[in-house]
Amino acid sequence: MPRIAVLTSGGDAPGMNAALRTIAKVAAIHGVEVIGFEDGYDGLIDGRVRPLTRKVDGGLSTTPDVSLAGNLGGTFLGSSRSARFVTPEGRAAAAARLDGFAGLIVIGGNGSLTGAHKLAQETGVKVMGVPASIDNDVGCTSTAIGVDSALNVITEACDRISDTARSHRRAFIIEVMGRHSGYLAMASAVAVGADGILFREQGRSEPELVTTVANLLRRGFAQKGDKRRVLVIKAEGVEIPCTRLVRLVQDELAAELPGVEVRATVLGHLVRGGNPTYQDRMVAGRLGLSALDALLHGETDQMVAWLPQQVEGGVQTSDPAIQRFTLERVLDETRALLDGTSAVTRWRVGMLEKLEGALSL
């Protein structure tokens, strides 16, 4: 009976469990055993297994964990960032654990996919990647597992904060996750009708950031009293701490706008938690299915991508929304996304620059 391995690695993302559920259920139908490794690459090196399928009446079925966790956030396999797997010796130990497996599916973000690429290149293990990162910072895919759920959490939080801000005529600077990518800040700011957006890709200095926010408050609260709240979304990648930014803005405006309060809210890991949305469950399931199909057909060192935009070189799958890209291509595009040279990044920043003046109206 053929068998495959699967693991979740790096930061958790809502929808990882939905991907595991699809992989296990479809594999079981085709008589393929699925073994999960706990806690990412560390669990693979240590051989900590958690079967996702079991023998039932001469065939295969999924384990109770798969069905119970499929709709939940996080990852029931656990996740980690493995220092040991970064070394060639660690990857060799991981490869030894996969002897007799048809291949490995890695569900994770940039670091996890980098490890998957090295494992495939150095050891010959067949590997397929599935993008999962709330930051949406993986190249060649328009979205990753967890992005939609994170945006929904941010949207609800901003709506709630706006309620209290309007009640007291306050300004809020809200920091959202995203590491080096400003995508969550960009997308959520438009969705909630924020007055301004601060993201790393703008390349603003600390004084420029303070001036930008101060001008937003001047424009908002210096009108005829009809503006009740000013909301600024700040990406995690903008290095100035939220509390410091608030203090500097208040110092600059103390004489001009007496009585106007500025507050800081860091949403932090709240953004990662919670059950996945329909969108994330659907995308996770279809990406997982495509990864499984590719692996069982002998493909390796690739990632399945959802509706790729402004990138070439993908291989169309049987799912019209999904293409496969080599992991080398994915990692190259990821670097370009983060350093600002990607056409996707330039388009995002360009669109936000066009909206910047309109957001605060």
Cα-based distances in Å from 91 to 30, 39, 318: 29, 15, 32
Tokens of 171: 């300004």
Residue 135 is a catalytic residue: yes
- Phi, psi (deg, nearest 5) at residue 227: -90, 120
Tokens in use for 131? Answer: 């993008």
Token pair listed for 294: 């590719």
Which one from 65, 135, 148, 293 is the annotated catalytic residue?
135
Q: For the chain, how are helix, strand and coil distributed in percent, rounded to 5? A: 45, 20, 35
Given a contact cutoff of 8 angstroms between Cβ atoms, the answer to whether 105 and 291 are in contact is yes
- Which parts of 254-308 fold into alpha helices (H)? 278-296
Alpha carbons 198 and 84: distance in angstroms, whole number: 36
Distances (CA, A) of 66 to 16, 77, 93, 237, 292: 11, 10, 27, 35, 16
Q: Which residues does the annotation mark as catalytic?
A: 135
